[in-house]
Amino acid sequence: MSEIILSIEDMEKTYVGGVHAVRGVSFEVKEGESLAIIGSSGSGKSTVLRCINRLIEPTHGIVRLKGERINTPAADVNDVRSRIGMVFQSFELFSHLRVIDNVSLGLIHVRGINKEDAIDQARSVLDRVDMLDRVDAYPGNLSGGQKQRVAIARALAMKPEVMLFDEPTSALDPELIGSVLETIQGLAEEGMTMVVVTHEIGFARDVADSVIYMDQGLIAEEGGSSIIDNPKTDRMRDFLSSIND
Ligand code: ADP
Ligand code: MG
């Protein structure tokens, strides 16, 4: 049995203003597992990810990383964020910093690594995402796919225990999606533990070990990737056909 890396217990989130975005969500992710979360816009997927790495706090529920509760005031937020890598749809790179500096920044300022070693480590992760030839470029001169691979490298540089991806290919032109999906697939194959919110159903079917379908703040269906081809509910079936159009 593999170790449970991440566990979510009965998570709920009500936003100020009253939207009950997540209404009792529980799941576990084991070491080396890749979990895909799918579901319509507004079903609460991003809220779950944001509560996991404490960009926001859940209203109720427990988040554990390797058994240790991380959503408490006693757990250091910066420590949590360096153990949980997050990649957003919108890249979130620093536009005034070169690629190499975007990737080495956290190593220097959060991990306290000296600049020379940080640059070496940053080069090695940029090599993994096939961006070593662009270390001196500024983000503005990269394609969306290249920016996203740099954002992935920046998260990987911190040697996270789990990676969270929130629709990593949604902002990309169709011809750039493949290179980013291949990068994420490569990480999954190397055994990186990950949670990927995605509309790329092929990825959920072919790469993910398990799939969660969220609907209206709840897990409506979950199982192995075969659930993609055998939805039990009309709502999941309708959702899948809506994104295949
Ligand atoms: P998804 O990622 O599945 O599209 P979200 O988690 O972004 O869903 O949103 C779930 C629900 O919470 C939606 O109704 C959305 O409008 C609402 N919501 C998201 N962020 C906020 C916020 N900061 N304040 C208030 N409501 C929010
Ligand atoms: Mg979202």
Burial level of 67, CB count in 10 A (0-12/13-18/19+)?
Answer: exposed
pLDDT of residue 164: 98
- Which pLDDT value is given to residue 78? 87
**Residue 18: CB within 6 Å of ligand 1?**
no
Query: In angstroms, what CA-CA distances link 236 with 205, 229, 230?
Result: 14, 10, 10
From the CB of 94, is ligand 1 less than 6 Å away? no
Ligand 1 within 6 A of 198 CB? no
Q: Whose CA is nearest to atom 27 of ligand 1?
A: 15
CA nearest 128: which of 154, 105, 110, 107?
Answer: 154
Global pTM? 0.96
Residue 245's pLDDT is 58
pLDDT of the residue at 73: 87
Ligand 1 pocket test target in 12, 16, 19, 52 with most atoms within 8 Å of CB: 19
Burial of 144 (0-12, 13-18, 19+ CB in 10 A): middle
Divide the 245 residues of the chain into consecutive groups of 10 and give the mean pLDDT of each group: 93 96 98 98 98 96 96 90 93 96 95 96 96 97 96 96 97 93 95 97 94 98 95 96 81
Give pLDDT, residue 47. Answer: 98
Q: What pLDDT is recorded for position 2?
A: 85
Two structure tokens written together for 200: 């790329």
The counts of H helices and E strands in the chain are 8, 10
pLDDT for 120 = 97
Determine the pLDDT at residue 1. Answer: 66
| 199 in contact with ligand 1, CB cutoff 6 A | no
